[in-house]
Every structure is written in structure tokens, then in C-alpha cells.
A and B are shown apart, each in its own frame.
Chain A
Amino acid sequence: MKARLVLGVFREEDALVRAVHAVRAAEVPIHDAFTPYPIHGLEEAMGLARSKLPWVTFAGGATGVTIALLGQWWTHSVDWPIEIGGKPFAAWPAYAPVAFESMVLLAGLSTAAALFVASRLWPKPRPRLVHPRRHARHLRPRARGARRELRSAARRAHPARRGRGRDQAGRRGMRRWLALAPLLVACNAGPDDPGVMYMPEMVVSTPYDAHDRNPILPNGMTLQAPPEGTVPQGFEPFHYALEEAELAAELANPIAPDEAAIARGRAQFETFCLVCHGARGDGDGPVVPPFPEPAVAPRRAPDDDARRAALPRDHARQGPDAAVRDAGPRGRSLAHRPLRPDAAGRRAGLGAACDARRGGGARRDGARCVGRSAGRGRARPRPGPARRRARAGRRDRARRRDRTRRRHRTCRRARAR
């Protein structure tokens, strides 16, 4: 179809507006007017309908408010009802700021998007119907059909642009967007495939929370009760420091010193104590020359006399029952100090000393590397299955392994001497 066109170029805005009025009065349809700046009164002159953009703004804003209010209510009342400062889960006034911001955000973005879509603006290097000087100075209304004519004029002026019609340009724009689509599709991984993960530190290894239900452990709890007899942290076996006489009154040995008890004590002593302390408690057990200092020897008095004097034998024989409990590991001079339960090995020595004097009793866990077999083998009794699982934390294992290694190293050195 060949369209007739009338093209007018105007230098000033009032001339343009007057011309538009005149053309409309003559009932000639006006295709469009291109101006370098908005001219007030031109829309009315051209009889353009009022833009429907405010409806888009309204819809966007209403969507924003609705999503924000429902989303906040749902997360705090349904999905994750957590009490904060005694406030209600559905704290509607506190939801107002986020709802307002969401309204503004969605209303603004949808308005802007609607402007670009309605005006068919998208990133393209050339406008339709470009004329290099239009935006600078000239104003022109155009009759319907002028576009094609102008385009051919432009083709003549710029042969390089030949063959780039509007439809083709539109399709190119479409294709450009389609080319972006795979990038977006690539984000859509399956339910078993998280796709790209950023810093999955809390995704890959999810430990059970201490108070969570735990399907793995037999009693269904993550935090296990400590095994019976566990010494609490900060526990002081003697919460007082008494003189020996007072201790004697308070901590009397309940086991009668009969033959059987002494025999049991002898057996214990020969098993656990003799290797260092010697058969008579002189500190000359079989391991003593290579083993640097028997556990009983005071470190500040390495000479034989002092060592012998510090041995618990006489003290144990003559002193009160309670004094023995402390005498073992550290020497008599420290006897009245409360013993810290942190050194398992020392406690073992204490236990042995105690038991020896009582003539038997329960064995206690701890470092018996020296006492049992001169440093061979594991010093630890095998814990029960529940306890083993409870201890399965990697850090704990590493710590235990290091401790055992250290202990064995000590023993190896002792043997080497």
C-alpha cells in the first residue's frame, strides 16, 4: 500500500502545536510527533488518551503490599514461629515498614517496565526512524504513512542501514532476549541437584542441634547424658583444706585392716605401684633408672634421700587415713592441697595409692601405661557402645589420639633409656 505522507518540520513548539490543531481541524489523522523535549499541550492537541500507567503502578503496589504482609505473617506465624521479646507472632505494626518498601519497590519497577514495554523501548543501538538532528533542534509532526517514506529516505541517506526494517529489528531484539534465556534456564537445577552453590558451609555438613531430635542415636536425643560417674567440670574433690588431724576425723578409712584387705592391697600395689616405687616403696622399682622420675618423687628434690623421705610409705603408715589420698602423686608436702580432677594420670596414682593402703578396691580409668605393662598397649578400657557413639566428634577423637600418642612417646623414651 502506498501511503501518502505530509511531513512538517517546525522550529518552535508553538508553531508545532498550532499546526497540530490545524491538521486535526481538517480531520487529517496525525501519525506522531517527534520532539526533543516534552511539549505541554501537545498530547491534548493530538487527542492522545490519558496514559494507563497509573493502573500498572497501582497493581504493582498492591502486589508488593500483599506479598510483603502475607510473607512476613507466614514466616513468623506459620513457618518459623519464634518468640522474640514477648512480641506476638503476627506483629502487624512491625510489618508496616517492609510492606511499605515492598509496595514502593514493586510499584516503581512495574511502572518503569510498563513505560519501556508500552513505548517499545529496549536496549538497541539505533532508534526507529532516526534522524541525526531531530533530538537537537527540530520538531516535526508526521501524517500516517510517513514512516515508510522517511525510512526509505533514510536508506538513501545511509546505505549501510539498508534492509533493516522495523520488523526485522523487532525480531532481532526478540532473538537477543531469547539468547539470554539459556542463562536463566541454567539456574533451574533439579531437586537433587543444587546447581551452583555459594559457600555451602551450612549445607553440606548439617550437624544436629544439641536439643534436636536425633534419629541416629538409640534414645533419639542429640545431646547425650554423660556416663555415670563423670567428673563435672570445675569439680573439687576436696572442697576444703584441713589439717591432717581434722582430715583423719572426717575421712576415716571404712575398710578394716584385716588380712584379706591387706592381701588385696598388696596385689594392687604389686600390679600398679611396684614398677616405680619398688617392692618396699623406696622408689627403686624396675623402671626407675630409665624412667626419669617416679610419679611419687618431688621434682624439687631429686636426690635419693629426699626422694625417699617424700615417699608415702612412712606417711601412709603413720599419718591419718585421709592424708594418703593426696600423698601419692605429688608428694606429701602438697597433701593438704585440693586435688584437681583434670589430670587423669595423677588421679590414677591416687587411686592406686589409696587402694593399696586399703588393700584393694575399684580400679579407675586413667593413664596406666607405666603401671600395667611398662608402656605397651592402649591404656584405655573400651567404653560402652553408647558412650563410643557419643564421643564420635572428630575434634574429640583427634584430641584423644594426640594424648595417647604423647603418652606412648613418653613410654617409648622411658624404654629406650
Chain B
Amino acid sequence: MATVSELRVPLVTDGKTTADVTEDVCRPVENRPTIWWWIAFIPALAGLGMYLYAVGKTILTGIGLWGLNRTVDWGFDITNFVFWVGIGHAGTLISAILLIFRQKWRTSINRAAEAMTIFAVICAGLFPLIHMGRIWVGFWLFPYPNSRGPLWVNFRSPLLWDVFAISTYFIISLVFWYIGLVPDLATVRDRAKNKIRRFVYGVLSMGWNGSARTWARHEMTSMLLAGLAAPLVLSVHTVVSFDFATSVIPGWHTTIFPPYFVAGAVFSGFGMVLTLLIIARKTMALESYITIKHLENMAKVLIATGSMVGLAYGTEFFIAWYSGNPYEQFAFINRATGPYWWAYWIMISCNVISPQLLWFKSLRTSPVVLFILSIFVNIGMWFERFVIIVTSLHRDYIPSSWSYYTATSTEFQILIGSFGLFFTLFLLFIRFFPAVAMAEVKAVRSYAQKHPKEAPAKAKTRTKVAQTKGAAA
């Protein structure tokens, strides 16, 4: 290891060479899974089984199995939907928005974060389908010439905008992820030892040959897709918030919802990215790639978005008072002190108070503290959606129809089971696909560390300038 920049911490530590990157990233893909992988995978698979059981029971019996009633007609189902969509947002933020801003530290986490996005959107997208009761006619959501009239969907309804936003988000995320994956799959293909692997990874990598022209187009495509995905990710949670904001329920009918939801989504997503990556770097020995620096950067995003969410909570109360609307005031006072006060205060303590601990550098550079805090953030953001949905509904305009919603065991099974689905997909992903974007990491690896003499005269980053100077000296 030659020189270390005084200005910037290297993105990849321990002086890894390109060959080291390939070896380290391909190791989990090419070897038998470790005991830690099995320890994580078996409970995840059990959770998936529970999910399939509970969802199957719901589909066969009907949503009467849930605790919904006339007053509270959205409960765990829509809470889980909004929660999982929000989780997905961090992946797109890391891969698209940080790419546009040329934040090079994103390279070692973007692959896993994008995969997380796709799996979270899968989890999310299933909930509206399940909660509609007749999942087998779910395709009626899409406008297509049909023999029912043709009966068109209502394009003026935010619920339909949701259909478009979520499905577009899923497809574009999948394409973006796959295009980034192709060069790395080609590396796995070239290293493959047996015929089946060579065939499967060969087909998946589309005959990638690393030509300079292809790389130029690939870079251009990544940039274009990032440019499309960045507004897309903002639009998705904006549209989700329209489901609520365009209604006339006090507590939902708020213009603050789009930015508030997007900030919350990024907050919860980064919480989940931290949870996943802290596990992944430990169990897959990726500490040199997913460094403390990465964790710290994500912790800073958590403080920023957590504070934005806290500001939004305060703004809601302020506007309720300032508007002079008694229904609005009641909705918010009831939210904090009514029958669901416990949910509200779990939300406040997890989302607003706990991230403030990250102002301390010693805390935000400690993986253990970050892991615990990220779990708190996940819990808090789930409760935020629960609070918004259920407390706004359970006491509506007519006091005679006020009620209390308690989830049934089926709903709890579906909620816990959806985590099983998510983790099963994620663990299969880190088992069969390179979890770190090798090509991108190689491109930002501090080359001059190992070969100071061949360092470029025209350095692109300050890091390299510093290293060159160090080498010259």
C-alpha cells in the first residue's frame, strides 16, 4: 500500500487489486454457502412458507379473515404495502440519484441496494392485489380492450396511478439492475468451472465481451436510466401519498404528503439497506468494500431524512392548529392521545429521537449501534404508515361509527411472512449473483495505491493527485 490521500478516505480499503475484487466478490457465488447463510436462509424460508399459507388462506376464504371493519377498511394490508414500497426507494436513490451526483462511494453498495428495491417492490405490489380479494382478476387493473364493454379503468383515480407507478417502478428497477449486472455475470461466466454454470451465466450475460464500444453504450444507458429513475422514484411515493392526500379524511387530506412520504421512504429504505449490508459485510467478508465510510455516509442520510420526517410530523400538528379546522385538530390530537397513542409514540421515538443519536461520530461509525438503530428505523417507519392509515380512519366524521381495529393472526402471519419472502429472495440473490458491482468497484479502486509509478499524469480525483504527489515525493 503506497500512499493514502489526506483528503479522502479510499473507497476500497486494504489495497485490493482488480483480481482481488473478482476473487472476493465471486467467492460466495462460486462456493458452497456458509453456515451463516443457512442460518439466515432457513428462517427466511419458514417465513415464506407462513406467508404462502396465510395468503393462500386469505385468497381461498376471503379478506373477512382480517380484522378490518366498516370504519377501518385499510389496515395491515395497505400499511405493509406503503412500508415495502418505501423500503425500495433507497435502492433507486443510491443507484440513480447518487450516480447522477457522481457519488463514487455508491459503487460497492448499489447492487445489493437495487436488489433490495426489486424484492421490496415485489413484496409491496402483492399487498394491493391480495387486499382486493379477487386476486385472479387482478389484471382488470390494467386498461386493455376487453369484452366487458370495453370497460376502461378510471384514469382520474389515484389508485390507478398507483398501478402505473408501481409497475413502472418495478420494471425500470429490474432493467436497471439487470443491465448493471450483465458485465459481472460475464465475469462469473468466464470463471465458471462446469457446463451448467457456463451455460446459465452465459445466457444471463447475453454474450457480453467487454468491448470498448459496448462499455461506452453501457455507461450511456446507465446514465440515461438513472436520469429516468431519479424522477421516477420521487413520483412513486408521491403517487402513493396521493392515495391518501386526495381523499377528504382528516389526517390524510394534506398537501405536505408527497415530500413527507418521499423523505420517509428514503429514511426507511436506508434503514433497511443498513440492516442488510451490515449483515452482508460481516457474513460475506466484504468489510474492505462496504467500509465504515459507507456506513457513516448512510447514517448521515438517516439523520437528514429522519429530521425531515420529524419536521413533517411537527408541520402536520402546526397546520392542524393554524387551519382552525376542528376535524383536522381532532384527528391529530386523537392521533397522539387517542386509543392508538402507543403506535404514535413508538413512531416518534423510533423515527425522530433515535436517529438523532447519529450526530455522535462514535455512534455512527459503530456497526453494532447502526445495526440496532436501523432496526428501530424499520419499526418506526412501519408504525408511521400504521398511524397514518389506521388512526385517521378509526374515528371519522360520524362518532356512531367509530371503532377500533385489531389485526388478526392471519394479518400478523402475512406481515411477518412478507419479511420471509423478502429475505428469501435477498439471500438467493447474494448466493447466485455477485452482490457487489465488480466492474464499478474496479473502476473506482484506487489504482495508484499499488502501482504508484504508473499513476496517470492527468489525475481525475483529488485522491489521485495526492497519491501522485506522494509517489513523486
Contact = CB atoms under 8 A, between A and B. Distances in A.
Determine if chain A interacts with chain B. Answer: yes
Interface of A: 12-15, 17, 32-40, 42-43, 46, 48, 51, 53-54, 57, 61, 71-72, 75-76, 79-80, 84, 87, 91, 94-95, 97-98, 100-102, 104-105, 107-109, 111-112, 114-116, 118-130, 132-137, 194, 198-200, 202-203
Given A36-B187, A124-B202, A124-B206, A102 B164 contact: yes
A128 B161 CA distance: 44
Interface string B443-462: 10001000100111000100
A78 to B, nearest CB: 11
Nearest to B26: A136
B398 interface: no
Most interface-central of B143, B152, B183 (chain A CB within 10 A): B152
Most interface-central of B175, B204, B221, B228 (chain A CB within 10 A): B221
Given A38-B439, A53-B224, A126 B207 contact: yes
27 contacts: A14-B447, A14-B454, A15-B454, A32-B211, A38-B218, A39-B443, A53-B221, A57-B228, A61-B228, A84-B154, A98-B164, A102-B168, A104-B172, A104-B228, A104-B229, A104-B232, A105-B168, A112-B225, A115-B217, A118-B217, A122-B207, A124-B206, A125-B198, A127-B189, A136-B22, A137-B18, A200-B147
A368 B8 CA distance: 102
Interface of B: 18-19, 22, 136-137, 139, 143, 147-152, 154-156, 158, 160-161, 164-165, 168, 171-172, 175-176, 179, 182-183, 186-187, 189-191, 198-199, 202-221, 224-225, 228-229, 231-232, 235, 239, 242, 438-440, 442-443, 447, 451, 454-456, 460
Contacts, number: 215
B172 to A, nearest CB: 5
Q: Which 3 A-B residue pairs are closest in the complex by CB-CB distance?
A: A125-B202, A121-B206, A97-B161
Given A121-B182, A127-B209, A36 B171 contact: no
B208 A105 contact: no
Most interface-central of A14, A39, A79 (chain B CB within 10 A): A14
Interface of B: prevailing SS: helix
A17 B212 CA distance: 12
Contacts of B217: 51, 53, 115, 118-119
Contacts of A43: 212, 216
Contacts of B182: 121
Contact of A136 (B19, B158, B202): B19
Contacts of A61: 228
A47 to B, nearest CB: 11
Nearest to A75: B152
A37 B213 contact: no
Contacts of B443: 37-40
